[in-house]
Amino acid sequence: MIEIICNDRLGKKVRVKCNPSDTIGELKTLIAAQTGTDASKIILKKWYTIYKDKISLEDYEIHDGMNLELYYS
């Protein structure tokens, strides 16, 4: 299990525990369950990289304690 911190820079910081083999889409559903927003409206970024739903966290080399930027569409 790894823990990922997602910050939307509007005062909401979410800590999510998931497996490295989970996809970005599954991570978005976990974030949506905590924030109450729709998972299809969540966009995860790191700098200028927009993470795609079907690729796993270990393929993106997302590790324990990493911070991601949380945006809403």
Mean pLDDT for each consecutive 10-residue tract of the chain (73 residues)? 90 90 91 89 91 90 90 89
- Given phi > 0 = left and psi -120 to 50 = alpha, else beta, which region is 52? beta
Provide the residue type at 32 as one letter. Answer: A
For the record, the structure tokens of 40 come out as 């299809």
Q: What is the pTM of this model?
A: 0.87
For the record, the structure tokens of 41 come out as 């409206």
Q: Give residue-wise pLDDT tens across range 6-25.
A: 998 888 899 999 998 999 99
